[in-house]
Amino acid sequence: MTNTQEKLHIGVVGAGSISGAHLGAYEANPNVVLVAICDKNEERARAAADKYGAAKVYTDYHELLADPSIDAISVCTWNNTHAEITIAALEAGKHVLCEKPLTKTVADAERVAAAVEASGKLLQVGFVRRYASSVEVLKRFIDAGDLGEIYYAKATCLRRLGNPGGWFSDKERSGGGPLIDLGVHIIDICWYLMGRPKVKSVTGNAYKKLGNRSHIKNLDFYKAADYDAERNDVEDLANAIIRFENGASLMVDVSFALHAQKDEISVKIYGDKGGAEVEPALVIMGEQHNTIVNLTPQIDHKTFDFVDAFGREIGHFVNSCLGKVETLSPVQDGVEVTRMLCAIYESAATGKEIIFE
């Protein structure tokens, strides 16, 4: 792909739940031609191709990657396949937008990073929250120094009933439960806004107390495309404290099942000049004329808006592939976040603090 070419030709691997967000955003992007969709489940791939106007359908991603008309792909498959599909795509000369988490293990994340380096192709990690308009606005305040030195962040994403089942609750395919699925987003967004400080140590806890609560009636929740409540060997709840070399710290807790009154999402960062809440809605806190002020930016999406954020993430990926901008979520950040997630699991398993060298 060269930046003189007008349109980017796209293939999407994985046609389950999240692929709709990618496909809808590609369809709406004037610089994209959607060429092909691949899923192990042919019917699902065909239905998506019909809906979004892709000419080709594959059930084997190797065949999609062998298609020379495709410049770039989205990887929207189970977590355990991300490394393998992403590396094969890079080796086939495609740019890649890989859904989060980048990989299940640090070794795999490093293999992906090496493949990016060797191929000279672009890899964007699907840290979609970085692309939300509320985060872009806040980043401008942070970069202008309005929050000063950010020394503390606190992030919570608690579902009382929200184990999506299927592959999500099969550790072999997912790598874990709410920590790797939800924690990845909120840890990343705090770390990104804190200026990506180097990790010093991690202490975590993980619990399997409630199971998946699939017996609960009359309350709906997010489910994988192939929902199956039978297998569940992932944690229900995890929490952690991450210390950084610059002295800053991050506290996080996440759950798929919990005896909580209601679901909760909150992402908050605190600096020595000001603070900010990213979720549940953007607010920037500070002082003016000896008075505490809470500033509410007047923007369309004060909270995370799925369609807006995916549209912006895909738009950024397309423009990065076309050489117009640099990705906001490069592979190195995927490696670092994977390091934090794996260290939390290791700390929980061993009961010890993990010190980074």
Ligand X SMILES: NC(=O)c1ccc[n+]([C@@H]2O[C@H](COP(=O)([O-])OP(=O)(O)OC[C@H]3O[C@@H](n4cnc5c(N)ncnc54)[C@H](O)[C@@H]3O)[C@@H](O)[C@H]2O)c1
Q: Is residue 14 a contact point for ligand X (CB under 6 A)?
A: yes
Return the structure tokens found at 218. 């009359």
34 or 128: whose CB is closer to ligand X?
A: 128
Q: Is residue 126 a contact point for ligand X (CB under 6 A)?
A: yes
Of 7, 40, 154, 339, the one binding ligand X by CB under 6 A: 40
Pair 32, 317: CB distance under 8 Å:
no
Minimum distance from residue 19 beta carbon to ligand X (Å): 6
Q: From 136-144, 204-212, 221-229, 336-344, give the range in contact with ligand X by CB under 6 A.
A: 221-229
Q: Is residue 210 a contact point for ligand X (CB under 6 A)?
A: no
Of 166, 176, 311, 315, the one binding ligand X by CB under 6 A: 166
Q: From 47-55, 71-79, 116-124, 247-255, give the range in contact with ligand X by CB under 6 A.
A: 71-79
Angle at 25 between CA 16 and CA 15, to 5 degrees: 15
19 or 212: whose CB is closer to ligand X?
A: 19
Q: From 36-44, 252-260, 264-272, 325-333, give the range in contact with ligand X by CB under 6 A.
A: 36-44
11 or 16: whose CB is closer to ligand X?
A: 16
List helix spans (H) across the chain: 19-28, 42-52, 61-65, 82-91, 106-119, 133-143, 171-174, 178, 184-193, 306-321, 331-350
Q: Is residue 16 a contact point for ligand X (CB under 6 A)?
A: yes
Write the CB contacts of 126 (distance below 8 Å, at least 6 apart in sequence).
97, 98, 99, 100, 313, 329
Pair 178, 254: CB distance under 8 Å:
yes
Write the CB contacts of 68 (distance below 8 Å, at least 6 apart in sequence).
none
Of 74, 81, 124, 133, the one binding ligand X by CB under 6 A: 81
Q: Is residue 15 a contact point for ligand X (CB under 6 A)?
A: yes
Amino acid, single-letter form, for residue 34:
L
244 or 256: whose CB is closer to ligand X?
A: 256
Q: Is residue 167 a contact point for ligand X (CB under 6 A)?
A: yes
Q: Is residue 18 a contact point for ligand X (CB under 6 A)?
A: yes
Give rounded-to-5 percent helix, strand, coil for the chain: 35, 25, 40
Rounded distance between C-alpha atoms, residue 299 and residue 281, angstroms: 11
Q: Is residue 99 a contact point for ligand X (CB under 6 A)?
A: yes
87 or 248: whose CB is closer to ligand X?
A: 87
Residue nearest to ligand X (CB): 16
- Smallest CA-to-CA distance from 306 within 18, 99, 9 is with 18
CB neighbours (10 Å) of residue 131?
22
Minimum distance from residue 180 beta carbon to ligand X (Å): 8
If residue 276 lies in a helix (H) or strand (E), which one and from where to where? Answer: strand 275-279
Return the structure tokens found at 40. 């192990």
162 or 197: whose CB is closer to ligand X?
A: 162
Return the structure tokens found at 284. 């920037």
Strands 8-13 and 72-75: parallel
Cross-strand bridge partners of residue 101: none
Q: Is residue 111 a contact point for ligand X (CB under 6 A)?
A: no
Site string for ligand X, 287-316 (x = CB under 6 A): ------------------------------
Q: From 16-24, 134-142, 199-207, 326-334, give the range in contact with ligand X by CB under 6 A.
A: 16-24
CB neighbours (10 Å) of residue 16?
18
Residues within the interface to ligand X (CB under 6 A): 13-19, 38-41, 44, 61, 76-79, 81, 99-100, 126, 128, 166-167, 181, 224-226
